[in-house]
Every structure is written in C-alpha cells, then in structure tokens.
Amino acid sequence: MTNDKDIQVKIENLTLGYSNNPLVSEINLNITTGDFWGIVGANGQGKSTFIKSIMGLVSPLKGKIEYNSLKQADIGYIPQSSSFSPNLPVNVSEFISLAAPGIIFSKKRKTAVNEALETVWLEDKRKRSYSTLSGGERQRLHIARALARKPKLIILDEPDTGLDFTSVGNLFDLLVRLNTEQNITILLITHHINTAIKLTAKTMLFTHGQVKSGNTKEIMTKENIVSAFMSHGTKEALVDKWLGEV
C-alpha cells in the first residue's frame, strides 16, 4: 500500500487537449518516489502532451495535477536528441555548467558538474566539444545536465530515437542505475516496446483517447498492445515479436 508521503504527483480525472478538443481523457494515477514508468502508445495519442502537463507547460482541460512532495525545480527533462543543434559551440563541461546550481566558476557548480559526468561515464570527455560526441554520448550528457540540478524525477521523451543498439543498451542501463541506486523517479516515453516491458515496473499505455496504467505485466498484454497499435498499422506478428523478446 502506498504511503501518501511517497506520492510525488497525484493526477485526478485529467483531460488534456488543445483548443478545448480533448486528446486524452480521465487520467487517474499516482507517481510515487522511486517509480519507473514506461509511457507507450502510437503516435498522436497524447504522450508528449501528458509530460508537458506534468512540467506545467500545458494546462488541463479538466481535472488536476497535485505535487505532494515535488516542486517544479525537482523535475529534470531530457528531450529528444533532435531538440539540440549538433553544432553547439560548447564543450561537455560547459554544457552541464550552464544548468548547474551555484555561481558560475564556484566550487559548488564544479562539484555538481564533476559528479554528473562521473554518473553518466563521461568524466574523460569533459573537454570534448559537444559536436564531436556520438548520439549515445550526447543523450547521456543531456541526462548529466539534468542530474546536476539534483532532480527527484526525470522525464525522458524518446531518448532512444536514432541511437544504435549498443547506445540504447547503455542509456537504459544508466536509467536503471539512477532509479535503483539514487531512487530517482523515471518517466520514460519510448517506442522500444519490448525493452519497456523488461525495463519498467509500471506502464501508462495511451490508447484511443484513454490511458491504461498500472503494473507493466498487467497492462502490456497482447490484447492491450494489439488494441493500441494495430489500428495504426502495426502487424500482429510484430506484437508477437515484441512479447517474445521479453
């Protein structure tokens, strides 16, 4: 049974959309300390709108979001890699330092940068130019940038997009470590369905204007996955492949 003190975000009867046109309706769930949520569903089902609402960037059409033990400053956000120009004129340390707390060049900021780089295995690349990093290294750097602010919850919007198999594995290994060792709550939007099933304890499945949420094994059944994805062109054989790889 969940202790109310552990609830970071409480969502009740939440309806989201634009110009009074609902995109997804009646979301009810609690996000608790140390949760690892997978957020999955076909394109256009409201996943990104949902995480924007958590960050206070989109106002609900109906319902409410309560932050019980969480402030907006406690939320770290890692967008898709395409959100940043690959030619940013900064090195790795500078990229993190711009977001780290404390006065610029202060010991506090330097410590935050160093700790974040060590956590994501990039301490040997602190002087490398952002433009010379691989896609996987950049995504880990984006996570380090968020970690420098000591977040309690990290939201990732398809961080695995465009990454090779090894980079995806390294990224997901890092997320598991942050969740288990630092008790950071993770909300992960991903299209890697099989990996999401193996990786996450809880899942939000966005399907046909609704959200099915709960224990991953209970939510990510073949019936639910077929219902969510086949009307968007996904073949049943692919669903079987996803489930067979779990």
Dist CA 91 CA 226 (whole Å) = 45
pLDDT at 233 over 90: no
Q: Assess contact for 221 and 231: CB atoms under 8 A.
A: no
Identify the residue with better confidence: 232 or 81.
81
- The HSE-up count of residue 129 (CA atoms within 13 Å, CB side) is 7
d(Cα 241, Cα 113) in Å, to the nearest integer?
41
Which region holds residue 121: left if phi is over 0, alpha if psi is between -120 and 50, else beta? left
| CA 206 and chain centroid, separation | 15
Query: pLDDT at residue 4 above 80?
Result: no
**pLDDT tens string 40-71:** 998 889 999 999 999 999 999 999 999 987 88
Which stretch of 32-46, 141-155, 221-235 has the lowest confidence by average pLDDT?
221-235
What distance in Å separates the CA atoms of residue 65 and residue 153, rounded to the nearest whole number? 15
pLDDT of residue 106: 72
What mean pLDDT value characterizes the chain?
87
> What residues contact residue 197 under an 8 Å CB cut-off, 6+ apart?
38, 203, 216, 217, 220, 242, 243, 246
Amino acid at 12: E
pLDDT confidence tier of residue 160, bands split at 50, 70 and 90: confident
Nearest to 163 by CA among 143, 132, 128, 139: 139
| Pairing of β 75-78 and β 202-207 | unpaired
Work out the pLDDT band at 235, boundaries 50, 70, 90. Answer: low
Q: What is the pLDDT of residues 75-130, one digit of tens each?
A: 999 887 656 777 888 899 988 887 766 655 578 788 888 899 999 999 999 899 99
pLDDT of residue 127: 92
Question: Quick one: pLDDT band at residue 241, thresholds 50, 70, 90?
Answer: low
- Answer for the pair 221, 238: CB distance below 8 angstroms, yes or no: no
